[in-house]
Amino acid sequence: MVETSNPKFDSPVNEVILTALEECQGYVSGEDLSRQLGLSRAAIWKRIRTLRQDGYRIEASPHRGYRLVERPDLLSAREIGRKLKAVRVAAEIHTLGEVSSTNDVAYELAFQGAREGVVVIAESQTQGRGRMSRFWLSPAGSNLYLSLILRPAIPPRLAPLLTYLGVIATAEALSQCFSLKVEVKWPNDVLVRGRKLAGLLNEVKAETDRVDFVVLGFGVNLNMEADAFPAELSEKATSVMRELGHRISRVEFTRSLLEWLDFWYNEFLLQGADVIIKKWEAVARIGGKTLEVSSFGDVYRGVAEGLDHDGALVIRTGKDETIRVVAGDVTNVSVQPQGPGVTEEFLDA
């Protein structure tokens, strides 16, 4: 049994207080609040105290009342849900402290019947994991660890497309919020200057002919300090803060990510797989790149043609020979030489 806190707005009373404080853009008297909410002045004061404990900076002035000075960068359902323009995605937002893995929590919720669009976010993970059971570093207070439950009516062979959809949304949110120039590495990595900044983990529960649910997990390094990366990751991984040199709003990024996910998921449902395939190919600029891909112990080299209709990576390995790779890692990318001065990129994050 999974227990979560903070469904979309955790306390309607606190929400009304915050809305009142925000709308007046100045002071609201304790008397007005108590009249509006039908609560005693002492009860209002108690609420203000809990909001302050949550990180809201609320000034109290004896004759004027209360004034909201600053909202916290708190990954709470209340902060993320505020002004969120997403319809299908983020039907419910659960925010938690420390968990083993948000994908485990979301999987369990989905297994118990949670609806499509349920989002699970944790402050930290003790067993955050990536593809191929790799460990995902998940310290508290800096990054985003988010899992989303989807229930698309699609056959299991199309489920990998949701990874591409997630990558597209992550890349769009990073460039919208921070103007970062992101690179995408097949199948699920988002990099900046060749270092990994975000990764996706797509876990599926399916029957032979239909998907029951998909849990799409996102790990995005946001406010992680450069010296917080262990030595073995320091050259391979990065964070938004490391790239920009200052802290950013985790709440704003999360909102943007959910809105892009909502947009691309709707496109996928309305227009089909092709729209996702084309967009991922464009974002990843995959066509024509010379790749080395390892898959189930074999290594293939060739020129990428793009994605097949089910999301498999198509590589031209010889004049009349192409192969389809459904799972694996790109271990080396070199841009096809088009003349002098073309540089080689090695992406081995």
Binding site for ligand BTN (CB under 6 A): 101-103, 125, 128-131, 134, 136, 145-147, 188-189, 199-201, 217-219
Judged by beta carbon, residue 71 or residue 196, the one nearer ligand BTN is 196
Judged by beta carbon, residue 177 or residue 200, the one nearer ligand BTN is 200
Contact 335, 346 (CB under 8 A): no
Judged by beta carbon, residue 68 or residue 121, the one nearer ligand BTN is 121
Least Å distance, CB 200 to ligand BTN, is: 5
Residues 6+ apart with CB under 8 A from 22: 68
Judged by beta carbon, residue 33 or residue 313, the one nearer ligand BTN is 313
Judged by beta carbon, residue 130 or residue 156, the one nearer ligand BTN is 130
Question: By beta-carbon distance, which residue lies closest to ligand BTN?
Answer: 199
Q: What's the CA angle centered on 104, arms 99 and 110, to 5 degrees?
A: 125
Least Å distance, CB 327 to ligand BTN, is: 12
Bridge partners (DSSP) of residue 306 are 314
Q: In this structure, are strands 290-295 and 298-307 parallel, antiparallel, or unpaired?
A: antiparallel
Judged by beta carbon, residue 65 or residue 219, the one nearer ligand BTN is 219
- 8-state DSSP, 214: E
Least Å distance, CB 303 to ligand BTN, is: 25
Least Å distance, CB 99 to ligand BTN, is: 9
How far apart are alpha carbons 233 and 305 in whole angstroms?
31
Map residue 320 onto helix, strand or coil: coil
Least Å distance, CB 258 to ligand BTN, is: 14
Least Å distance, CB 201 to ligand BTN, is: 4
Residue/partner pairs of 134-141 with CB below 8 Å, 24 or more apart: 136/199, 136/201, 136/219, 137/229, 137/230, 137/233, 137/237, 138/219, 139/224, 139/228, 140/98, 141/223
Phi, psi of 83 (to 5 degrees): 65, 10
